Amino acid sequence: MAREHLLRVENLSMEYPSRDGQRIRALHNLSFHVDEGEFVTLLGPSGCGKSTTFNIIAGLFEPTTGRVYLRDKDITGQTGFVGYMFQKDLLLPWRTVLGNMILGAEAQGRDRREARKEALAIIERLGLKGRENAYPSQLSGGMRQRVAFGRTLLYHKDLLLLDEPLGALDAQTREYMQEWLLEVWTEFQKTVLLISHDLDEAIFLSDRIYVLTKQPGRVKAEITVDLPRPRTAETRLSPSYAETRLRVYRLIREEEAEI
Amino acid sequence: MSEVTRTVTRQTSLIGQRFARDVVPALALLLLIIGGWEVATIVLGIHPVILPSPSLIVQTIVKDWGLLYTNMLYTLWEVLIGFGLGFAVGLILAILIVYSPALERALYPLVVASQTIPVFAIAPLLVIWFGFGIWPKVLIAALIVFFPICVNEVEGLRSAEPEMIDLLRSLSASRWTIFRLVEFPASIPYLIAGTQVGIAYSVIGAVIGEWVGSSRGIGQLMLAANAMIRTDRVFAAIVVLSIVALALFASVTLLSRVLMPWKYIK
């Protein structure tokens, strides 16, 4: 009846045995969706199974129950359908910026020379011009994340899963990188599903936010962020931003009070 | 292409700077010791059979050069073939150990046990089995070399970050692709560290083999010179052997700079 979602996650549950033999429930009936071109954030405290959710969507884990659909195609437990960007930048120290960017293309068995050309074409728009042949050890944390994001773009996947990619950066670099992320997201017209535990990051970047509960992770609330785009540094100062922030903030406090 | 050239040029200038800082003090100390040795033999009147002076050793090297050179080449062959064999076996064993838990349980104890047997004890057996030719020496060198290569490479292949492997798995990369793109390259620094140890050991291995039974080689030359009380020639052989070992070690170091420019970048 409704138009198909790009990603649909249905009733995902994940249980695994802990070291002392008890069963840990990481996720319980988690359901949400992401539409084409959207920027959606899963916002929740650490330990609410966000990374587990990503590992399931990426096909690395098989969920205990529940299904994952990409454009109505069941991809549960199957790899190769989404672009997964990890918390760590995971750049290979022996490869240059360019070499790291084409890693995914090589892993997919695509032509190296083609991939290099493609990487060179986007390197300027990623803000990496002149650093093509630098090694990761010569780059700052922000630069390294740009390379990691560029590598993820070159996987040629419509949906990007970003697992707290800016989590390790200092506060200032982080705000700056959020603006950068919005720019490249607009430019490359990808769909993004982001994991974050940072309220401001979630509001500033997202079209919609799913607030998750603590263990086991479930959707506590879905919030649509109406802030106009393009968003800039000033967006953070607008009244409607403050209003949204208060709404989400209350939900999170509520969740914390329950523990 | 130009990228490689630039890297090599940068490496070369770096080596120049390092030379002044690291090599000059070592060289000065060496010259001091040699000088003291020379003076001591003259002042104390030590007989050349007991301890030949450095100048006599140099003279012997010049005079016996033909003899030293042919035997050195023979030993070098033993070393290189033995090292190559040990390297290949060590590398293959490491890959088997890392990728098969069953083989790890079967192989690792044997690998470690092999190092508890003194090489001197096996050497005569190898001569009995393989004769006086090149093979016993090659095998002894290989037996010593494979161990540091294998142990280092096992650690190296396991050094890749698990998330990195997950990343490639999320792209449906095959086991072989993960090995080729991540695990093996990550192990190269470990492999080179093993090679540096192994190449020095392989020289010792070859010489031990020659001592036990050989008709050629630097080790055999040393034994023969010893029997003739030609102490100067024993020392000449030691000098040539040291130079060979140092040259081999230096080649590995140079190779590591070419293979891992990223390690030496500031």
Residue A72's pLDDT is what? 93
Query: Which of A:79-138 have CB within 8 Å of B?
Result: 79-80, 82, 84, 86-88, 90, 92-94, 103-104, 106-109, 133, 135, 137-138
Q: How far apart are CA A173 and CA A2, in angstroms?
A: 40
Report yes or no: A150 and A128 within 8 Å, Cβ to Cβ. yes
Q: How far apart are CA B212 and CA B207, in angstroms?
A: 9
b/e per residue, B135-149, with b = 16+ CB within 10 A? Answer: bbbbbbbbbbbbbbb
Q: Which chain A residue is nearest to residue B260, measuring alpha carbons? A: A94
CB atoms within 10 A of CB B257: 17
Stretch A54-72: mean pLDDT, rounded? 95
- A70-109 pLDDT, tens digit each: 999 999 999 999 999 999 999 999 999 999 999 999 999 9
DSSP H helices in chain B: 2-18, 24-43, 54-63, 65-99, 101-114, 119-130, 135-157, 162-170, 175-178, 184-212, 218-227, 231-259
Of the listed ranges A112-121, B205-214, B221-230, the least confidently predicted one is: B205-214
Which of B77, B193, B87, B91 has its CA nearest to residue B134? B77
Which of A144, A150, A169 has its CA nearest to residue A93? A144
Q: Is the pLDDT of residue B1 over 60?
A: no
Residue B80's pLDDT is what? 96
User: Mean of the per-residue pLDDT values for chain B?
Assistant: 91
Burial class (CB in 10 A: 0-12, 13-18, 19+), B5: exposed
Note the pTM of the prediction, 2 decimals.
0.86
Fold of the domain built from segment(s) B49-263? MetI-like fold (1.10.3720)
Q: Please judge whether B161 and A90 are an interchain contact, meaning their C-beta atoms are less than 8 angstroms apart.
A: yes
Would you kindly state where each structural domain of chain B is located, as residue ranges? 1-46, 49-263
Q: Is the pLDDT of residue B95 over 80?
A: yes
Confidence of residue A258 (pLDDT cuts 50, 70, 90): low
Stretch B157-186: mean pLDDT, rounded? 96
Chain A nearest CA to B82, separation (Å): 30
ipTM score of complex: 0.91
- Using a CB–CB cut-off of 8 Å, the residues of B that contact A are 3, 161, 163-164, 166-173, 177-178, 181-182, 185-186, 188, 260-262, 265
Q: What residues does A15 pair with on adjacent strands?
A: A25
